[in-house]
Amino acid sequence: MRVISRITLSGKCWTRSATLRSSIRNPNDGVPLLRFAIDHLRRRDDRGGQEKRVATREGSRRDIRISFRGLPTAMRSFDFWRVDVFAARPLEGNPLAVFPRAGGLTDQEMLAITREMNISETTFVLPSSKAGADYRNRIFTPGGELPFAGHPSLGTAYVAFMEGLIPRAEGIVRAHQEVGIGVLPLELEVRSGAVQRVVMTQGQPSVGRTISNVDRLAKALRIKPRDITATNLLPQIASTGIASLQVPIRSLEIVREMDPDLPALGALLKRVSPEAGAYVFAFEAAGDADLHSRGFFPLSRIPEDPATGSAAGACGAYLASNQRLPGKEWFVIEQGIEIGHPSRIEVSVAIERGRPAQVRVAGAVVPIMRGTLMIP
């Protein structure tokens, strides 16, 4: 007997396969069998592999074997949002996928879903066991899970509010998220039921070692060492929960034209932290911002990030430690222009005894899509 066809059906939360075997000499005579198999699978989608003898035209008999090959009888459904963070309008800023009710997903499934979403980060919201936290926020990049990140924190807070995981109210709505580094506070500015702005307090600010010999870094960034040293600052590791290498550059033009050697940059960054990226910036901007930045994260499989809240906060800590903060409570960093996703990140640094004590990052969140993911 020869195989006429293999059918894969999908719908109503189930997937099945059918293999039809027949001694029919004329392949066209197999069409009624195909129709039978489809109807049979629709009617009996709850059964495993089975054989059925059926009568076809002129009373002939044909054997049909339906094989489910161990596939589950039902698909699981998970609703998600797609939002743009640090965006003035849709299709700007940094995109984020948020699964507001992610219970039942394994770590491996979360990573696979993140890669399927094909953007820099995806978050999965779960109940929190930590005192004072409204929810647990698990943050994934295509390279793995992060202990903390900026734009995923803001975007997830927006979705949590819209889904009722944070109490709906007007004015300043305060909430707390649990992330890998602990429980962090959030504020949502709400007017007429719409979230205008989300503010997050980041982790404890710190600055680490300085890179005094910039030759290797400059080569990886494909710029001249003088393009860094002319700022009278040196690159330095900084963190508000996740480390980044802060790299000051002497002009806006050099930052905008930069085309780094990402494998070489990744090899250098690996010495800093498994999740570290290079955050390069100039003390001038294309628009009305105070700084212009670009973020390169080859270790997280992100060639360039449209907006990096964690690195922007670390930049604030770095500038405060070097007494180079803009003279205002909130300063603005523009990012993502080079890759067509202009972003606006607001940063505020509180100083105590001459050192950064607290960093806050804020921005707008714009919803652009809602959908349902279906997996076995």
Predicted local confidence at residue 172, as pLDDT = 98
Hunting for tokens 């972003």 — which residue is that? 343
Q: Looking at residue 44, what is its pLDDT? A: 43
The DSSP-derived string for 50-73 is: EEEEEE-GGG-EEEEEE--TT--S
* pLDDT in single tens digits along all 376 residues of the chain: 333 334 443 333 333 344 434 333 444 444 444 444 444 444 444 444 444 444 444 444 444 454 445 445 589 999 999 999 999 999 999 999 999 999 999 999 999 999 999 999 999 999 999 999 999 999 999 999 999 999 999 999 999 999 999 999 999 999 999 999 999 999 999 999 999 999 999 999 999 999 999 999 999 999 999 999 999 999 999 999 999 999 999 999 999 999 999 999 999 999 877 778 999 999 999 999 999 999 999 998 999 999 999 999 999 999 999 999 998 999 999 999 999 999 999 999 999 988 999 999 999 999 999 999 999 9
The reported pLDDT for the residue numbered 19 is 40
pLDDT at res. 271: 84
Catalytic, 121? Answer: yes
What phi and psi values does residue 166 have, to the nearest 5 degrees? Answer: -115, 135
Domains of the chain, with CATH numbers?
2-66 (no CATH), 76-201+366-375 (3.10.310.10), 206-362 (3.10.310.10)
Contacting residues for 98 by C-beta, under 8 A, at least 6 apart? 80, 81, 82, 83, 122, 123, 125, 155, 156, 159
Strand partners, 238: 207, 244
| Catalytically annotated residue among 51, 109, 121, 275 | 121
pTM across the whole model: 0.79
